[in-house]
Amino acid sequence: MNEALTLQYVKTTAEMLMLPLEDAQAARVAVHLQRTAAMVSLLDSAGLSAHDELAEIYCPAPFPAADPTLGSTGFNA
């Protein structure tokens, strides 16, 4: 994405997020975003497959210290 398109993106998304940016600041933000975009392109070389899931950012419960007691039938109902 070139400078003009990045600036356009910044202004549009800032408006969508209700961020009040003046033109000079939008231009500075666009520079940062272009720098980040260059880093994103680095990640293209990581060779991620569809099966490469996210690193955990949420843990629903602590991992149990031991297996839960099984029912008398040998399996949980």
Per CB under 8 A, does 8 bind other proteins?
no
- Residue 26 C-beta: closest distance to other proteins, Å: 9
- Residue 31 C-beta: closest distance to other proteins, Å: 8
Residue among 2, 4, 23, 59 that touches other proteins (CB under 8 A) = 59
Contact by Cβ (8 Å): 13, 5: no
Q: Binding to other proteins (CB under 8 A): which residues in 10-29?
A: 10, 13-14, 17-21, 25, 28-29
Interatomic CA distance for residues 75 and 77, integer angstroms: 6
What's the half-sphere exposure (Cβ side, CA atoms, 13 Å) at 25? 5
